């Protein structure tokens, strides 16, 4: 079975050569003293070692053993607790955390690479860590100074963990109908009562305390989502001196028995008058929670990307070693008894699909992270505002497109293995099971598509979309006279023009029939995703050609870009035709017709 090898060379290419991350960091005053290339490279190298030597070896055993629940307590698989302590000691939970409270303050452009390595090596393990990092974001941005001082440092250090408690048995996407209540107390705290389900890391034995961020409603709250508040509810109460006190009235009622991510505890959490503290303003809980949710959506997108990378590595290794059938070279059959299956056309197709989509995804994750960093660190207000619009536009694409493609790529990797891909010991079937959830949680991909189409495109009449389209148009205009780049610019220009016209068409159609938004949304997200990937490949091709780079690694970039544009990008035109069929074929069905 192939071992995971962190793709650090590719990450460095995207970071420094394509997006000039080290130059950006030096320009942003608040980052200039924290990170430069040598520091970033050391972080990448160490993260690669952790993923390969610490996390990957306990991935399959963690899947086989799973988590165990007994009388409200959850035990993680053998090796997970020790791995968490090693991970925590390195400061990885607080990699992007606020330095004022013990975080490392690293940029998002760097942390997305670290998360990808972790998800490639061990999905279940990384979920505990990213939930904690996300909880810290919400606390840091919205909580009182007292709460930040009490909780952030301990979560950054990995001594405590964080969780996000939204979903209830009757309320998933529609959070406006949650029933969890918060009763105000004379001392300014609240007693939180209700049941939450599907809570990742709601209970486990990795840390001494778990800090739950819980959505609940006050007794006099307005109906719907406008009446939701956010509360910090610790598993163990914290004394004034920072030591742990009594157990709070929050318990794990059970754990879910799942298709995948079996070493990650997915819990039913019961809050029985548990003491909690308001985060942010009353009835503004969703605004606060979205700080964490948007981080988690990007992180779950990275889960899809990490699984794609691992699937590709495994499949490539197997395809080079597995002897089966004779290949055809220059029109003649090989004279060997059998050849490696990488010579067969369908295997080559699957591997190249995986390679092209994964490498473009890595570039796109770095591009989105660059927008997050720009919105946070840039000094020019217009630049920050533009980046914020791009983040809003691209977050649902990152979550949904990465994870849709992630499942596709894991299935392709399994297919390369043939019958062995269906057998547990080879590891490919675990990737298929583990990545499947990524399309479902943190807002299903259908919801992400609705968010993109409805809120981020139609609602503002293409304002956010134009930020992206104008950037790509400028790139095309600047590079159109470069003959060496023509084979990468021309397909990009055609795809972008298609996307621009399609976007305007949907906005126009939706003015007459709101159902057009939902009918177009999923296919539109994929048209956007493939077009954005073409932009990424054009950027990478330009980088290689400008540097007159040689060597297999860089020449492979040009060949892969060419493959993407000719074999994968044309998918957008079939999807476009489906969208232009309109909502009629979808809505002419009555319930009796199903």
C-alpha pair distances (Å), 380 with each of 28, 265, 475: 10, 43, 21
Distance, in Å, from the CA atom of 332 to the CA atom of 17, rounded to the nearest integer, reads 41
* Rounded average pLDDT over 369-376: 96
Tens of pLDDT along 449-484? Answer: 999 999 999 999 999 999 999 999 999 999 999 999
What pLDDT score was predicted for residue 351? 98
Contact 80, 59 (CB under 8 A): no
Distance, in Å, from the CA atom of 279 to the CA atom of 507, rounded to the nearest integer, reads 37
Distance, in Å, from the CA atom of 439 to the CA atom of 402, rounded to the nearest integer, reads 9
Q: What is the rounded average pLDDT for all residues in the chain?
A: 96
b/e map 242-280, b = 16+ CB within 10 Å: eebeeebbbbbeebbebebbbbbbbbbbbbeebbbbbbb
The yes-or-no verdict on residue 513 having pLDDT over 70 is yes
Neighbours of 209 (CB within 10 A): 18
Establish if 472 belongs to a structural domain: yes
Contact 319, 416 (CB under 8 A): yes
Establish if 454 belongs to a structural domain: yes
Establish if 221 belongs to a structural domain: no
Here the tokens at position 204 are 């486990």
Distance, in Å, from the CA atom of 207 to the CA atom of 43, rounded to the nearest integer, reads 24
* Rounded average pLDDT over 265-280: 98
**Among 217-226, 291-300, 415-424, which stretch is predicted with the lowest mean pLDDT?**
291-300
Establish if 402 belongs to a structural domain: no
C-alpha pair distances (Å), 396 with each of 108, 175, 388, 529: 17, 18, 14, 10
Contact 5, 52 (CB under 8 A): yes
Residue length, the chain?
594
The yes-or-no verdict on residue 171 having pLDDT over 90 is no
User: Helix (H, G, I), strand (E, B), or coil: what is residue 529?
Assistant: helix
What pLDDT score was predicted for residue 453? 98
The yes-or-no verdict on residue 330 having pLDDT over 80 is no
Distance, in Å, from the CA atom of 118 to the CA atom of 47, rounded to the nearest integer, reads 8
Total domains, the chain: 1
* Rounded average pLDDT over 197-225: 97
Q: Give how far the C-alpha of residue 341 lies from the chain's centroid of Cα atoms, to the nearest Å.
A: 32
Burial of 105 (0-12, 13-18, 19+ CB in 10 A): middle
Contact 561, 541 (CB under 8 A): yes
CA atoms within 13 A on the CB side of 41: 8
Set 168, 442, 479, 493: catalytic member = 442
Domain that holds residue 549: 444-586
Of 288 and 400, which is predicted with more confidence?
400
Q: Which residues contact 46 (CB under 8 A, 6 or more apart)?
A: 90
Establish if 11 belongs to a structural domain: no
Burial of 86 (0-12, 13-18, 19+ CB in 10 A): middle
Establish if 43 belongs to a structural domain: no
* Rounded average pLDDT over 371-387: 96
What pLDDT score was predicted for residue 118? 98
* Rounded average pLDDT over 8-31: 96
Distance, in Å, from the CA atom of 389 to the CA atom of 366, rounded to the nearest integer, reads 16
Tens of pLDDT along 517-545? Answer: 999 999 999 999 999 999 999 999 999 99
DSSP 13-63: IIIIIIS-HHHHHHHSHHHHTT--HHHHHHHHHHHHHIIIIIIGGGHHHHH
User: Helix (H, G, I), strand (E, B), or coil: what is residue 221?
Assistant: coil
Which position has the token pair 């492979």?
Answer: 556
H or E segment and range at residue 72: none
User: Helix (H, G, I), strand (E, B), or coil: what is residue 162?
Assistant: strand
Which segments of 112-180 are extended strands (E)? 160-165
- pLDDT band for position 173 (cuts 50, 70, 90): confident
Establish if 535 belongs to a structural domain: yes
* Rounded average pLDDT over 281-289: 92
Phi then psi for residue 250, to 5 deg, are -135, 130
**Among 49-58, 171-180, 304-313, 556-565, which stretch is predicted with the lowest mean pLDDT?**
171-180
Establish if 159 belongs to a structural domain: no
What pLDDT score was predicted for residue 172? 86
Residue 359 is among the residues annotated as catalytic for this protein: no
Task: Supply the angle between the helices 463-479 and 381-416 in degrees, to the nearest 10.
Answer: 80
What pLDDT score was predicted for residue 289? 83
Instruction: Give Rg (Cα) of the chain.
Output: 24
What pLDDT score was predicted for residue 1? 67
What pLDDT score was predicted for residue 100? 97
* Rounded average pLDDT over 281-302: 88
């Amino acid at each position: 079975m192939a071992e995971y090898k962190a793709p650090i060379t590719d990450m460095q290419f995207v970071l420094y050569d394509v997006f000039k991350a080290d130059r950006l960091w030096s320009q942003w005053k608040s980052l200039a003293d924290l990170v430069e290339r040598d520091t970033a490279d050391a972080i990448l190298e160490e993260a690669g070692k952790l993923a390969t030597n610490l996390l990957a070896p306990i991935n399959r055993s963690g899947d086989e053993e799973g988590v165990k629940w007994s009388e409200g307590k959850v035990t993680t698989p053998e090796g997970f607790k020790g791995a968490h302590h090693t991970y925590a000691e390195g400061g990885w939970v607080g990699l992007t955390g606020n330095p004022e409270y013990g975080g490392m303050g690293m940029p998002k452009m760097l942390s997305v690479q670290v998360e990808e390595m972790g998800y490639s090596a061990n999905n279940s393990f990384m979920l505990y860590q990213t939930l904690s990092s996300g909880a810290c974001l919400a606390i840091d941005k919205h909580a009182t100074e007292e709460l930040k001082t009490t909780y952030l440092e301990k979560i950054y250090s990995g001594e405590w963990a964080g969780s996000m408690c939204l979903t209830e048995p009757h309320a998933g996407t529609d959070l406006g109908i949650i029933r969890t209540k918060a009763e105000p107390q004379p001392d300014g705290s609240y007693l939180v009562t209700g049941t939450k389900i599907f809570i990742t890391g709601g209970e486990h034995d990795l840390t001494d305390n778990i800090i739950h961020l819980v959505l609940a409603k006050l007794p006099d709250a307005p109906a719907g989502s406008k009446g939701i508040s956010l509360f910090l509810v610790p598993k163990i109460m914290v004394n004034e001196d920072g030591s742990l006190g009594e157990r709070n009235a929050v318990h794990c009622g059970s754990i879910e028995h799942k298709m995948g991510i079996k070493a990650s505890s997915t819990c039913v959490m019961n809050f029985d008058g548990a003491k909690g503290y308001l985060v942010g303003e009353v009835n503004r809980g969703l605004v606060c929670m979205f700080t964490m949710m948007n981080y988690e959506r990007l992180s779950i997108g990275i889960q899809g990307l990490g699984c794609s990378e691992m699937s590709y590595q495994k499949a490539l290794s197997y395809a080079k070693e597995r002897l089966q059938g004779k290949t055809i070279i220059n029109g003649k059959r090989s004279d060997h008894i059998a050849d490696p299956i990488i010579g067969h056309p369908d295997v080559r197709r699957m591997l190249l699909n995986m390679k092209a989509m994964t490498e473009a995804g890595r570039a796109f994750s770095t591009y989105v992270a660059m927008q997050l960093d720009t919105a946070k660190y840039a000094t020019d207000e217009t630049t920050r505002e533009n980046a914020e619009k791009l983040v809003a536009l691209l977050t649902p694409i990152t979550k949904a497109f990465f994870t849709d493609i992630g499942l596709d790529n894991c299935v392709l990797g399994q297919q390369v293995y043939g019958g062995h891909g269906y057998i547990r010991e080879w590891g490919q079937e675990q990737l298929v099971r583990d990545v499947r959830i990524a399309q479902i949680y943190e807002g299903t991909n259908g919801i992400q598509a609705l968010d993109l189409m409805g809120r981020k495109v139609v609602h503002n009449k293409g304002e956010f979309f134009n930020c992206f389209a104008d950037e790509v148009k400028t790139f095309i205009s600047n590079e159109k006279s470069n003959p060496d780049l023509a084979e990468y610019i021309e397909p990009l220009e055609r795809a972008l023009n298609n996307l621009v016209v399609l976007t305007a068409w949907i906005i126009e159609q939706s003015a007459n029939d709101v159902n057009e938004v939902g009918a177009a949304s999923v296919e539109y997200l994929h048209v956007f995703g493939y077009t954005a990937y073409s932009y990424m490949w054009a950027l990478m091709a330009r980088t290689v050609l400008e540097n007159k780079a040689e060597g297999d690694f860089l020449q492979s970039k040009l060949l892969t870009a060419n493959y993407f544009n000719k074999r994968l990008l044309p998918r957008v035109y079939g999807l476009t035709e489906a969208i232009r069929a309109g909502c009629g074929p979808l809505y002419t069905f009555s319930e009796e017709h199903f």
